[in-house]
Amino acid sequence: MPATSQPHRTDGRGRRRSYRLVAASAVLATAGALAAALPADAHEGGHGKPLPSRYQDVQLLSFNDLHGNLEPPSGSSGRVTELQPDGTTKTIDAGGVEYLATHLREARKGNKYSITAAGGDMVGASPLISGLFHDEPTIEALNKLDLDVTSVGNHEFDEGAKELGRLQNGGCHPTAGCYTDKKFQGADFPYLAANVLNEKTDRPILKPYWVWKKRDVRIGFIGVTLENTPGVVSAEGVKGLKFKDEVETINKYAKVLQKQGVKSIVALIHEGGLPASGAYNYNCDSPGAGAGISGPIVDIAKNVTPAVDALVTGHTHAAYACTIPDPSGKPRTVTSAASFGRLYTDTTLTYDRYTGDIARTAVKAANHVVTRTVAKAPDMTELIGRWNTLAAPVGNRAIGYVSADVPNTGTESPMGDLIADAQLWYGRKLDPQTDLALMNPGGVRAGLTYAAKGAEGDGVVTYAEGFTVQPFSNTVNLQDFTGAQLIQVLKEQVSGTNTSAPKILQPSANLTYTLDLTKSGADRVVTDSIRLDGAAIDPAATYRVSTNSFLAGGGDGFPTLGLGTNDLVGDDDLTALEQYLTANSSASGPLAPPTANRITITQ
């Protein structure tokens, strides 16, 4: 039947409802056109009050992977690289919550619609000022930063789900008690853990999503951590938990939010990518959208539902502000602000009041350096001073001496080598038959600097500095492996789950081999080049290996290290480092940094 011949329905008073609907639509369309055409202050409502315009810019400030770095990070951990117009680069000192607070507060000025969000790993692997107090100081600082919401990261599980719950809800530590005369209040902001389920209840252990509201603007946030969290956290930390697929989880809760009428959605994802350049302002959309970035976040971004308007990411400690197409081919912003509070991202989300959605073609994002040239935030200075006073009796104690910086940079780092040497030395104290030591690179959280940070003097290594390097309290474990298993362990650095993102173990000084990057997979470790004390590895012989408890459990994609026998568990790894430095260095004879030449790299 032609549309013009359809009968009109009437309301209870016999009036034509179809006419009223058409008329109303025409009025709305006209009003919409006028609203879009006129500035906000040209609209007047009742009593001469201005009506809001159709589009509202919402400021989204974000950062990730703070790791309890309240004080300015030292060495390379406290610098960012900036790409210059002429193609050269320069380094800038960056980070520290006294400066981060100032930068965020300045950025918010004049923005009535402003949200601050984070991409996980706010705590864990923290320096002494936070780690010694189970990261209560960092939660207090984040509250002062006016953080609105964050996803969990893998390091939020370093001490298990119960401790994460305490950081969220407050209360004194179950064994350490209260550190001050005030009860710890917990986080003012929600931690989101949509893909972390209790094994018994099959429900998220914390809120899966949260909705930010201001007047008529609503934006939903979904928070997830990487599905492989059990592979990068100790078994005790993830006991009783299940970690679900990031994409499936985000897509599930995006539908939940849409059913609640929330159409503007941001995903906070503790998983990330690797841009082609380490410069924070590198254009990773050149020559095309997302062409300059690789890693897990690329596949995630390409498969997360188009209902999600922006992705705030983390985990890789990289800096990027890219545009990766969603499944429908529409451009979508994906950002990460490096780590340790050195950067923050400022993203403009243009909210459409008529649709309730983000006008994604108008979204723009950029990373900004947390420079140390601005004034320090007084409340953060007070916070740091207060907690440092409590930590000082422990942290200021000298544990060793170095003759120069010991950096934590490169495929093989001097700091990683030093720790491996320390664990071999300590292992031989436990069992003189210990043959070698291996250290996972992710467990080395910082290097050592020669310049004094306080009154201790140049070259002095304090307990606080050692704690910053090795904050996990892993034990040193000795295990027996066959030569064939040892060779397999070295090949697992570049194969299996480590194929696309190799994890190169830091070896003790007596283990050498060649890593051939022109080859692929396990073949990149040249078997015939492997030498222990100058001799080839005998596949049938037994070797005693010193590692930390995380590696001894098969962590970081090294399943063969979980097959060791004749276990002997020693003290924690920081104690091993402390004892090694104390025994092998002095004020008159400081320890020289290892030269990091145990792995020969060909490419």
Please say if the pLDDT value at position 21 is more than 60. no
Domain match, 472 and 529 both: yes
Confidence of residue 3 (pLDDT cuts 50, 70, 90): very low
Spatial contact of 538 and 426, defined as CB atoms under 8 Å apart: no
Domain match, 361 and 508 both: no
Query: Under 8 Å CB-to-CB from 562, ≥6 apart: which residues?
Result: 552, 553, 554
Q: Residue 51 has what pLDDT?
A: 65
Q: Tell me, letter by letter, the H, E, C secondary structure of 530-594.
A: CEECCEECCCCCEEEEEEEHHHHCCCCCCHHHHHCEEEEEEEEHHHHHHHHHHHHCCCCCCECCC
Q: Residue 50 has what pLDDT?
A: 64
Is residue 380 included in any domain, yes or no? no
**Could you tell me the residue range of the domain that residue 21 belongs to?**
3-48
Calpha distance 59→355 (Å, rounded): 19
Domain match, 474 and 590 both: yes
* Host H or E run for residue 58: strand 55-63
Residue that is written with structure tokens 């043959």 in the block? 435
State the average pLDDT over residues 579-593.
Answer: 97
Spatial contact of 195 and 245, defined as CB atoms under 8 Å apart: yes
Domain match, 182 and 158 both: yes
Please say if the pLDDT value at position 186 is more than 50. yes
Taking each continuous run of H as one helix and of E as one strand, the counts in the chain are 14, 30
The CB density around residue 282, as the number of other CB atoms within 10 Å, is 23
Domain match, 423 and 549 both: yes
Domain match, 421 and 556 both: yes
Is residue 378 included in any domain, yes or no? no
Please say if the pLDDT value at position 325 is more than 80. yes
Residue that is written with structure tokens 């710890």 in the block? 184
Q: Residue 76 has what pLDDT?
A: 85
Spatial contact of 219 and 266, defined as CB atoms under 8 Å apart: yes
Maximum distance among all alpha carbons in the chain? 102
Domain match, 312 and 432 both: no
Domain match, 32 and 116 both: no
Domain match, 413 and 275 both: no
Mean per-residue pLDDT of the chain: 92
Is the peptide bond prior to 275 cis by the omega test (within 30 degrees of 0)? no
Number of independent structural domains in the chain: 3
Spatial contact of 266 and 58, defined as CB atoms under 8 Å apart: no
Domain match, 12 and 110 both: no
What is the chain's alpha carbon radius of gyration, rounded to the nearest angstrom?
27
Calpha distance 575→583 (Å, rounded): 12
State the average pLDDT over residues 187-193.
Answer: 98
Calpha distance 429→420 (Å, rounded): 14
State the average pLDDT over residues 338-347.
Answer: 98
Is residue 388 included in any domain, yes or no? no
State the average pLDDT over residues 104-130.
Answer: 97
Calpha distance 248→224 (Å, rounded): 11
Of 49-58, 84-93, 444-453, least confident by mean pLDDT is 49-58
Is residue 383 included in any domain, yes or no? no
State the average pLDDT over residues 226-248.
Answer: 95
Domain match, 340 and 406 both: no
Query: Under 8 Å CB-to-CB from 46, ≥6 apart: which residues?
Result: none
Please say if the pLDDT value at position 9 is more than 50. no
Is residue 328 included in any domain, yes or no? yes
Please say if the pLDDT value at position 330 is more than 70. yes
For 194-229, how does the pLDDT look when each residue is reduced to its tens digit (9 = 90+)? 999 999 999 999 999 999 999 999 999 999 999 999
Q: Which residue has the higher pLDDT, 255 or 501?
A: 255
Cα torsion 151, 155, 157, 159: sign: negative
Structure token pair of residue 255: 């539908």
Domain match, 245 and 273 both: yes
Is residue 384 included in any domain, yes or no? no
State the average pLDDT over residues 243-249.
Answer: 98
Is residue 385 included in any domain, yes or no? no
Q: Residue 44 has what pLDDT?
A: 39
Percentage of residues in the chain with pLDDT exceeding 70? 92
For 286-323, how does the pLDDT look when each residue is reduced to its tens digit (9 = 90+)? 999 999 999 999 999 999 999 999 999 999 999 999 99
Q: Residue 535 sits in a domain of what CATH number?
A: 3.90.780.10
For 40-82, how does the pLDDT look when each residue is reduced to its tens digit (9 = 90+)? 433 334 455 566 799 999 999 999 999 999 999 988 899 999 9
Q: Residue 330 sits in a domain of what CATH number?
A: 3.60.21.10
Q: How many residues are present in the chain?
A: 603
Is residue 300 included in any domain, yes or no? yes
**Rounded to two decimals, what is the model's pTM?**
0.86
Residue that is written with structure tokens 């040193």 in the block? 476
Nearest to 185 by CA among 227, 228, 233, 140: 140
Q: Residue 26 has what pLDDT?
A: 36
